[in-house]
Amino acid sequence: MALLSAAAGVVMNNNFTGLWFPTLVTILIVAFGTACKQEKRHSFVSDWKFALEEIHGSVQDAYAQKFKELIEQRTNNEISVTVYPYGTLGTSDQVTELIHMGAIQFATASPGHLGKTIPELQLFLLHFVFSNDNVVNQAVLGESQVLRDYIDQLYQHKGLKFLALYPEGWQVWTTNKEIRQPQDFAGLKMRVMTSPMLLRAYAAYGANPTPLPYSEVYSALQLHMIDAQVNPVFAIEEMSFYEVTDYLIFPRHAQFVTSVVTNPHFFETLPTDKQQLIKEVITELNSYIFTVQETFNSERLKTMQTRKPNLQIRYLTAAERDAFRKASLPVRQEYIDMVGPRGKALLTILLEEVVKAEQELGSSPNTD
């Protein structure tokens, strides 16, 4: 553990760039692997490590900090949880590798990243597959057993144990012009993550989807290298994207969804009471994080409006949303063609579970 702490300290306390950072990550992975082998002599690891895809102060950070609080509290500090914000342990791909190695115990893994190894997860990058009512989406992602069971099988095939799936908020477009209909996207350079589904989704509207590293989005907007980008409100405020844009447009076309994973061997070799503890805490966090993301997004929207009073806020009407929904439908078939039968089955499950939840909760799919 001393080697592990020293290696982690090097990365956490220094800002390395260029070739130094991958080297440090490699050292860290080796250190973690060594520590992991040493810890296997014990009945279970008592210092759990939780790596994030977002920075300190984000929705994912709030989730992990609450997880830490509940685990430590209910084990009387027998178990400690250390939270590592994005970048501390390397890239998302490197964090997933650390999970596979058993070097860390928990991590967030979003479809935008994990979809490269579990292509079916790119379903969550499609547009208009969720309800317009976010309470419905929270119920489906957090409580649908049929959806959870199917996703769990997909994760198992890739050496991961699925724990949770939760929404971080509506995706919002920041643009340099008003967008009200698909035609307004014509030729617009829209920054997206490197995902085939996102590229197809915005191409379907007539945009010019432009993959770009997250860290370069602000300067690209500022220099007019791109015309727009998409993220949840809390991230737009966090990264100051609103400073270099004219419009915030709420189409309610997609949720930013992430998952929580662990190492199967780690989980399965835990004492039964510890396994049960994790399950109970994860269940509690489903409703907790939903409230947190609503608060984060609401408060940070107000912050942006206060700091930039001339920022134009637009909410698409039901009719305007429907035009985008119709334009997006062919991309579903492209998803099925690319992913295959398991992707088609997952899409069917999600759509059916959304309709079922809307009926049970008395929600209209077109409520504005």
Q: Residue 333 is part of which domain span?
A: 172-255+307-361
The sign one gets for the Cα dihedral 143, 147, 153, 159 is: negative
Predicted confidence (pLDDT) per residue in 148-192, tens digit: 999 999 999 999 999 999 999 999 999 999 999 999 999 999 999
Residue 194 placed within a domain: yes
Asked whether 102 and 263 are in contact (CB, 8 A), the reply is yes
For the stretch 74-127, pLDDT in tens is 999 999 999 999 989 988 889 999 999 999 999 999 887 888 899 999 999 999
- Answer whether residue 251 is part of any domain: yes
Q: What is the pLDDT of residues 188-202, one digit of tens each?
A: 999 998 788 889 999
Asked whether the beta carbons of 11 and 89 are under 8 A apart, the reply is yes
Please state the domain count of the chain. Answer: 2
DSSP collapsed to 3 states, 214-244: HHHHHHHHHCCCCCEEEEEHHHHHHCCHHHH
What's the pLDDT at 8?
45
Residue 106 and residue 180 in one domain? no
Q: Where are the alpha helices (DSSP H) in 75-182?
A: 92-101, 111-114, 134-143, 145-156
User: Looking at the structure, do residues 89 and 162 belong to the same domain, yes or no?
Assistant: yes
User: Residue 18 burial (CB < 10 Å; 0-12/13-18/19+)?
Assistant: exposed
Q: Which of 155, 127, 40 is nearest to 316 (CA)?
A: 127
- Residue 5: predicted pLDDT: 44
CA separation for the pair 177, 173 (Å, rounded) = 10
Q: By C-alpha distance, which of 179, 133, 169, 183 is closest to 314?
A: 179
If one compares 144 and 87, the residue with the highest pLDDT of the two is 144
Residue 366 is assigned to a structural domain of this protein: no
User: For tokens 């210092």, what's the residue?
Assistant: 47
CA distance 91 to 161: 20
109-148 in b/e burial notation, b at 16+ Cβ within 10 A?
bbbbbbbbebbbbbbbbbbbbbbbbbebbbbbbbebeebb
Flag whether pLDDT at 13 surpasses 70. Answer: no
Rounded distance between C-alpha atoms, residue 163 and residue 256, angstroms? 17
Greatest CA separation for the chain? 62
Give the pLDDT confidence of 29-63 residue by residue, as tens digits: 545 554 444 444 444 679 999 999 998 989 999 99
Residue 185 lies in a domain: yes
**Whether residues 83 and 109 fall in one domain:** yes
Q: Rounded to 10 degrees, what is the CA torsion of 93, 168, 293, 356?
A: -140
CATH code at position 347: 3.40.190.170
Domain termination site, one of 297, 319, 347: 297
Whether residues 49 and 101 fall in one domain: yes
Using DSSP bridges, classify how beta strands 47-51 and 80-84 pair: parallel, antiparallel or unpaired. Answer: parallel
pLDDT digits (tens, 9 = 90+) for 232-284: 999 999 999 999 999 999 999 999 999 999 999 999 999 999 999 999 999 99
Please determine, for residue 11, whether its predicted confidence score (pLDDT) is greater than 80: no
The pLDDT of residue 287 is: 92
* Domain co-membership, 138 together with 193: no
In terms of domains, do 92 and 214 share one? Answer: no
Dihedral, CA of residue 267, residue 269, residue 270 and residue 275, to nearest 10: 50
The per-residue pLDDT for 4 is 45
Same domain, 290 and 196: no
Q: pLDDT tens digit string along 332-357?
A: 999 999 999 999 999 999 999 999 99
**Residue 365's pLDDT is what?**
61
Please identify, among 297, 319, 353, the residue that sits at the C-terminal boundary of a domain.
Answer: 297
Which pLDDT score, from 0 to 100, does residue 28 have? 53
Q: Encoding tokens for residue 144?
A: 């649908």
The CA-atom distances, in angstroms, between 10 and each of 6, 90, 107, 177, 306 are 6, 12, 20, 44, 39
Please give the pLDDT value at position 38.
43
Q: Which residues contact 218 (CB under 8 A, 6 or more apart)?
A: 239, 240, 241, 243, 244
Spacing of C-alpha 194 from chain mean position = 14
Residues 231 and 156 in one domain: no
